[in-house]
Structure 1
């Protein structure tokens, strides 16, 4: 396989892609047309519009990961059952068009992931660890044993924050929110101290109504509460390596520091692109 290829991270909300020629990234794109936002067009039509022009001439190989492999995407791609070595990804690619492949996701008896497995493969090469945390809408905590993913859990931290701020009494009638690290730290400590959330969530409203929390800081307090509760409930093995965006990883690092846990960090995009590169290298 040539040194020219296209890496695609196609999730629920966004399509992101990187074009490599001679092993170097020469172009990238991002559009808000994830599989949950395709509206009247199909995934194949979106691919032909945004990705296909990069392939000409010569049909540059494409490897895609994420929700594009779900039943809401281009084609449902089977999950690989854990425990599993991520080196299996390169031999289990699902071809949906000539020289266009989708990476399979991973599953346990009660959990699934799509897209994070590719980030994990890259992270394991760039920053070897026994426990990875991938913050996001649906955060993952992944345990690695002897180079294989043995188990992972999912916390709907990001989605829960969005729902509560936009569709519940907690966020109703609030002014524009501002960054407030003091409020975030207070929520973080509350979440770490009392990880069962059912009886703590309403405090995001009560403390504001009682004048103890500024109306503009509810979002950060709630973010701290949810992240703290997630970290407190994690089943970890050894030190942690965070894989994700800089701003969100910073919040999780604060949570781990408060919990007395050492956490390293690697950029999610760097891990993803290394994962795609590793998959292609293994197929040569």
Structure 2
């Protein structure tokens, strides 16, 4: 096993791991994402996060928004369809021993899409659990159609961001008390969202329901979450037509993964979960091993 430094550098956060002979010996976290550099250059943040580590002697492999036009240096996308094992041969060097992993793109009349960081998770996920369909929930959820190690297509759904905007910056959330977890409200939202081909007309009903006493005002967030996730899962599985003989792989933390498992189960699909950091680390390790050879 090789020695290397792995960095997941997103918009709002940065995480780094130091590996020696395949074992993690140290890890660090920072809020210095590419949109939170506070006037510092990426090179300065890089020097801080790797201070005391052998960044001048072992490969440093970075993925995420660090390769965007808001990051250290714009890194070209690899156009889909593309084999994930090509990532290691298309790295962009930004320092003596530091490289950035390319993102992926889809450019078609019916689908324009990009991802940065998720491709590294996918690389690791495909080695951990082979499947034809992967979903990475989050602010901008990714649904990825994979055949073997080749990414054929992917879609992005802004479910997490939409939930936040509607709850905190729209009429839906105006005047609500502190929100509470409620599994029944989430399930009710799932069932409603999964049944509708479009939820645009349902959104105002979220507010009207609690005004008229049909929904507990403390559980609006949960119902809205279910509504959006239920719609997302039903829509994406219709568009990407997964092989129902194989489970959908969810790459996420436990809490968010459980919500998507529940939504997939509602429409009759099995799923398995891979923890996001685990998938990312396996992906980086695959790239580091190529660099070491």
What is the CA-CA distance between 1:137 and the residue it aligns to?
0.7
Map of 1:141 onto structure 2? 143
Cα RMSD (Å) = 1.3
**Separation in 2, partners of 1:195, 1:228:** 11
What is the CA-CA distance between 1:147 and the residue it aligns to?
2.1
The answer to whether the 8 A contact 2:59-2:288 is kept is no
Map of 2:174 onto structure 1? 172
When normalised by structure 1's length, the TM-score is 0.96
What is the CA-CA distance between 1:65 and the residue it aligns to?
0.4
The number of residues matched between the two structures is: 282
Q: Does 1:202 align with 2:204?
A: yes
Deviation larger for 110-119 or 14-23:
14-23
Query: Counterparts in 2 of 1:83-98, with a 5 A limit?
Result: 83-98=81-96
Map of 1:162 onto structure 2? 164
When normalised by structure 2's length, the TM-score is 0.93
What is the CA-CA distance between 1:237 and the residue it aligns to?
2.0
**Separation in 2, partners of 1:10, 1:118:** 12
Question: Unaligned regions of 5+ residues in structure 1, if any?
Answer: none
Q: CA 1:236 to 1:34, structure 2 compared with 1: closer, same or farther past 3 Å?
A: farther
Question: Unaligned regions of 5+ residues in structure 2, if any?
Answer: none
The answer to whether the 8 A contact 2:142-2:156 is kept is yes
What is the CA-CA distance between 1:212 and the residue it aligns to?
1.5
2:181 aligns to what SS in structure 1? coil
1:247 pairs with 248, 251, 255, which one? Answer: 255
Map of 1:113 onto structure 2? 115
Query: Counterparts in 2 of 1:182-261, with a 5 A limit?
Result: 182-234=184-236, 235-238=240-243, 239-261=247-269
Map of 1:62 onto structure 2? 60
The answer to whether the 8 A contact 1:195-1:230 is kept is no
Map of 2:280 onto structure 1? 272
Give a deviation string over 1:220-271, Cα, whole Å, max 9, x none.
1111011001001012321311111111010000000001001111111000
**Separation in 1, partners of 2:50, 2:161:** 29
Deviation larger for 33-42 or 223-232:
33-42
What is the CA-CA distance between 1:16 and the residue it aligns to?
1.0
**Separation in 1, partners of 2:265, 2:114:** 28
Q: CA 1:175 to 1:55, structure 2 compared with 1: closer, same or farther past 3 Å?
A: farther
The answer to whether the 8 A contact 2:9-2:34 is kept is yes
**Separation in 2, partners of 1:172, 1:193:** 27
The answer to whether the 8 A contact 1:195-1:228 is kept is no
